[in-house]
Amino acid sequence: MNPKLYTLLALADAFGVSILDLLDVDDSHTEAYERYYANDDDDSIYHNPEAFSKALGDHLQRLRWDRNLSQEDVARIAGITYNHYHFLEKGESRPGSPANPWLSTLISIANAFGVSLIDLLTVDD
């Protein structure tokens, strides 16, 4: 199974859980949960795929800067194209279209940064 980000957000919403709850299998990310639930209201970016895509892009950029990596470095390590990563960091799938990456892409990027998928998806409003 390799769903897209918007599918995961919709499933989480349908089940009345956070995307973090939906993806967490070992229940070890209490800080991520606390950050999510602190922002868990109808106006939260976790309920707005377009806003979430932009916030995720900003988060990817911060992770990359913290590690002194270029976009090319991250793309190479994650096994995706530079253009794909570049647009994800802008919060887009292509110009003018919000990012909606496959789960496998998110996992590859999380691995490239050395963070869990939950930590990758825990973004700031």
Express each pLDDT in 3-12 by its tens digit. Answer: 777 787 777 7
Percent of the chain with pLDDT over 90: 38
* pTM, entire model: 0.74
Percent of the chain with pLDDT over 70: 74
**Residue 35: pLDDT above 60?**
no
pLDDT at 33: 47
pLDDT at 124: 73
The DSSP string of the chain is ---BHHHHHHHHHHHTS-HHHHH-SS---HHHHHHHHHT-STTSGGG-HHHHHHHHHHHHHHHHHHTT--HHHHHHHHTS-HHHHHHHHTTEEETTEE---BHHHHHHHHHHHT--HHHHH----
* Amino acid type, 37: Y
